[in-house]
Chains A and B, each alone.
Chain A
Amino acid sequence: MSLHFSLGLLTLFLLAAIGTPIGYGIITAAVVYLAVGGLDIGLAGEQLLYGLYDSFVLLAVPLFITAANIMNAGTISDRLLQFCVVVVGRFRGGLGHVNVVASLIFSGMSGSAVADAAGIGKLITEMMTRENHYSRGYAAAITAASATIGPIIPPSIPMVLYALVSNASIGYLFLGGILPGLVMGVVLMAMNAYLAGRRGFVLEQPVPLKALPRHTARAFPALLMPAILLYGIYGGVTTPTEAAAVAAAYALLLAGLFYRSLSLAGLYRILVDSARASAAVGLVIGGALILNYMVVAENIPNRLAEAMVGVEVSPLVFLLGGNVLLLLLGCVLDATTIILVIIPLFLPTCRELGIDLVHFGVVAVVNCMIGLITPPYGILLFVINAVTGTPLAEMIREIWAFLGVLLVALLVMILWPDLVLFLPRLLGYRG
């Protein structure tokens, strides 16, 4: 490693550690790298600008963010919840199941765990605690845990980011997430059922099945969304990026015209908030592109790969070790930072060891989403704390059981790649 590269990295770590925004930290590090190395400092801006301008897939990011905000603003989440209450609300621990099933459906519409927690998560937490049937800690914990499914079942913003750094196909990544997402839902419901039985949660007044058609009709247009998205992408109608636009358009149509729950002023706020969130992420993406330039200029991937040849590491050991490392990082870092900045360092070794990049990508994204609920730093815990007022300590006390089953699900995905790769292969993936 050259001196200027080491100084650049040192700058990045120091600045990031003291709370400098990651994007600006990387730009500053790049300036240090270029200046000390006697290179043209204009390269930082060049890499940033061309990187953003060249990546068509990135356009999915602002569009999926907008779609998620539209769905949260309208009554779409509300209708979905009512539908889920009728279907699974009658069992012991019913609202816990509703929570997970609603997240499963919502995850087929939105690509963001935070959107899930802030929208549907807020409503269901209120529902669960309304009559003191569930403690607020339990309600908030299962909400946070089920929100992690959001970006696993397509669409998924983190998978778009992973596709950017790995060049893996977004279409196959999305497909690869479907079964793992369902498995996560199943293990969470199993844990909920177990805890509900052990703690003797009261049964809710069941909604008569007679009401099912009415609630289904109310929610039906929203339920169609995942089907439209999947058909769009895999029916060969739209690219995954265009599907993001279709999702936003459909959400807008539903919320604005069909359900009439969105005003023009509301739409304006959504656009401003979405632009703000997209710009903040865009800066980190741009930073990752600069960092990628530095890493490639220093020939780091090849050296890492060479170093790996001497060491006898089996792919499985590497996957397990890498995942433990990612989990530890997930305790303190944002998923966006991990995917864009840390994961690229793993990829050359993955290629060298013959690990499938779609399998690795799905596992890594699941891992990062679990990182969103691992204390002390878990953005989902903070978001639910912010929207429901549930104290972090109460939430964290209840999160461990759900965290545990999600880790088991992750381990299964690591040990059994077919779980991830079955659907992509079914649709023509050769890997």
Chain B
Amino acid sequence: MAVLSRWLRHGAEAVAALLLAALFVTFVLQVFSRYVLVNPIGWTVELCLTLWVWIVFWGNAFIVREKDHVTFDMLYLAAGDRLRRVLALISALAIIIALAVSLLPTWDYIDFLRIKRSPTLGIPMRDVFSIYMLFLVAVMVAYAYRVYRVIRYGAPADRHHLNGMDE
């Protein structure tokens, strides 16, 4: 079980690294084609945007840990063990319920987009956005697992978002 979960984690990280590397290369290609070859490639912008959407949702589904999120954690960290456990459970359950409620309506919308194709590459938008469904399900499963962990072992008291390079 432990081996399997480690392999899954490494696999998920590799996919994320690959997506980011592809975004980077595509971008460099775009700059190069426009300014060096003076013959801009049309599809690079669209591919970059698709990769960006995938990085965000693949990332949050599989490689972003609870402590990586942007979070207001002052009250949570100041709370005692027992209260923190309750707070963590409320958070997790609220997220699970909200995502579960949105599951079918969201799929209706995304599935409807099969008739719409992206402007230059002609990929059905349903396929571009399908990652969001995977994200919804994965996050629900992850928070269900968190509910189990919190009940069993208590709520962790890590500070959040220390590795965020966004600010």
Chain A residues packing against B (C-beta within 8 Å): 11, 15-24, 27-28, 31-32, 35, 40-46, 48-49, 52-54, 56, 58-59, 61-66, 68-69, 112-115, 151, 157-158, 161, 237-238, 242, 245-246, 248-249, 268, 271-284, 286, 332-337, 368-369, 372, 376-377, 379, 382-383, 386
- Structural contact, A281 and B49, CB atoms closer than 8 A: no
The complex places the Cα of A52 from the Cα of B16 at a distance, in Å, of: 17
Please, which residue of chain A has its CB at the minimum distance from the CB of B128? A53
Chain B residues packing against A (C-beta within 8 Å): 13, 16-17, 19-21, 23-24, 27-28, 30-31, 35, 45, 48-50, 52-53, 55-60, 63-66, 68-77, 87-88, 90-91, 94-95, 97-99, 101-102, 105-110, 128-129, 132, 136, 139, 159-167
Contacts A19-B76, A242-B27, A284-B70: A46 and B58 contacting too (C-beta < 8 A)? no
The complex places the Cα of A18 from the Cα of B83 at a distance, in Å, of: 10
- Structural contact, A280 and B161, CB atoms closer than 8 A: yes
Interface SS, B side: helix
Contacts of A59 in B (CB 8 A): 23, 27, 48-49, 52
- What would 8 A/B residue contacts be, using CB atoms closer than 8 Å? A19-B88, A52-B52, A66-B20, A242-B31, A281-B166, A282-B59, A286-B56, A334-B164
Contacts of B159 in A (CB 8 A): 382
The complex places the Cα of A283 from the Cα of B109 at a distance, in Å, of: 20
Contacts of B50 in A (CB 8 A): 53
Interface SS, A side: helix
- Structural contact, B95 and A283, CB atoms closer than 8 A: no
New contact pairs (6) apart from A28-B95, A276-B163, A280-B68, CB-CB < 8 Å: A20-B91, A112-B166, A112-B167, A279-B16, A279-B56, A336-B166
Contacts of A273 in B (CB 8 A): 163
Contacts A44-B102, A237-B35, A279-B60: A62 and B20 contacting too (C-beta < 8 A)? yes
- Structural contact, A275 and B53, CB atoms closer than 8 A: no
- Structural contact, B105 and A41, CB atoms closer than 8 A: yes
Contacts A41-B101, A336-B166: A23 and B70 contacting too (C-beta < 8 A)? yes
- Structural contact, A45 and B102, CB atoms closer than 8 A: yes
The complex places the Cα of A18 from the Cα of B155 at a distance, in Å, of: 13
Please, which residue of chain A has its CB at the minimum distance from the CB of B63? A276
- B20, B59, B74, B91: the one contacting A332 at CB < 8 Å is B74
- Structural contact, A282 and B110, CB atoms closer than 8 A: no
The 10 closest A-B pairs by CB, nearest first: A279-B59, A19-B76, A282-B56, A21-B69, A42-B109, A271-B17, A42-B105, A245-B27, A28-B98, A275-B16
The complex places the Cα of A404 from the Cα of B71 at a distance, in Å, of: 27
Contacts of A335 in B (CB 8 A): 167
